[in-house]
C-alpha cells in the first residue's frame, strides 16, 4: 500500500521534517499499525526513531518504564497510562515527541467501566502531555485501524498548533 499526499501519515511526516522533530511510538492494541503507517512513507527514517509494541502490562512496566502504580491504580487502558507510555517512549528513544495507543480492540475483555472499543491515545512533547479518549464500535480490525488513524491525527493536530 502506498501513501498519498493527503494521508495523515504523509502530512505528519512533512510536518515533522519541517520542524526538525523526531518521533517514537509506544503501541499496545494497535500492535504496530502506527509504525507501519509511518514507515509506509518514503523518507520516514529522517524523523521516525522506532516503536515499542508493549502489548502486555508487564512489558509496559519493564520495557517502557510505566510505573506499576499507574497500571494498578488506573489500568493499562487509561489516560494516565497513555500519557506515561508516550512520555516513557519519548525518553527511552531520546525523541522530540512520543506518541502512544492503548485500548481494548475486542471482541472480548471489555467490562462495564472499560468496554470493547475504548482507546486512549497519548502524546508527549515540548509544551504538551495529553491524552484523548475514544470509544469505537467496530470489530477488532476496524477498532485497531481507527485507533492508528486517531493517533496520527492527534500528532498532526499538535504539529499544526491546534492543541
Residue 92 lies in a domain: yes
| pLDDT (tens place) for every residue of the chain, 163 residues total | 556 777 999 999 999 999 999 999 999 999 999 999 999 999 999 999 999 999 999 999 999 999 999 999 999 999 999 999 999 999 999 999 999 999 999 988 888 889 999 999 999 999 999 999 999 999 999 999 999 999 999 999 999 999 8
Range of 77's domain?
A: 8-159
Residue 2 lies in a domain: no
Q: For residue 76, give the CATH number of its domain.
A: 3.90.950.20
Q: How far apart are alpha carbons 106 and 162 in whole angstroms? A: 31
Residue 150 lies in a domain: yes
Q: What is the pLDDT of residue 101?
A: 98
Task: Look at the chain and report how many structural domains it folds into.
Answer: 1
Residue 37 lies in a domain: yes
Q: What is the pLDDT of residue 3?
A: 65
Residue 114 lies in a domain: yes
Amino acid at each position: 500500500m502506498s501513501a498519498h499526499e493527503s494521508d495523515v501519515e504523509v502530512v505528519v511526516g512533512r510536518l515533522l521534517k519541517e520542524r526538525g522533530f523526531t518521533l517514537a511510538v509506544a503501541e499496545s492494541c494497535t500492535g504496530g499499525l502506527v509504525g507501519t503507517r509511518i514507515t509506509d512513507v518514503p523518507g520516514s527514517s529522517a524523523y521516525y526513531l522506532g516503536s515499542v509494541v508493549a502489548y502486555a502490562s508487564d512489558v509496559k512496566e519493564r520495557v517502557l518504564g510505566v510505573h506499576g502504580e499507574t497500571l494498578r491504580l488506573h489500568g493499562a487502558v487509561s489516560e494516565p497510562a497513555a500519557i506515561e507510555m508516550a512520555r516513557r517512549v519519548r525518553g527511552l528513544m531520546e525523541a522530540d515527541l512520543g506518541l502512544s495507543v492503548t485500548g481494548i480492540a475486542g471482541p472480548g475483555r471489555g467490562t462495564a467501566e472499560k468496554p470493547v472499543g475504548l482507546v486512549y491515545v497519548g502524546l508527549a512533547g515540548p509544551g504538551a502531555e495529553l491524552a484523548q479518549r475514544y470509544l469505537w464500535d467496530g470489530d477488532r480490525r476496524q477498532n485497531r485501524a481507527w485507533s492508528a488513524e486517531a493517533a496520527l491525527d492527534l500528532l498532526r493536530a499538535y504539529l499544526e498548533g491546534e492543541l
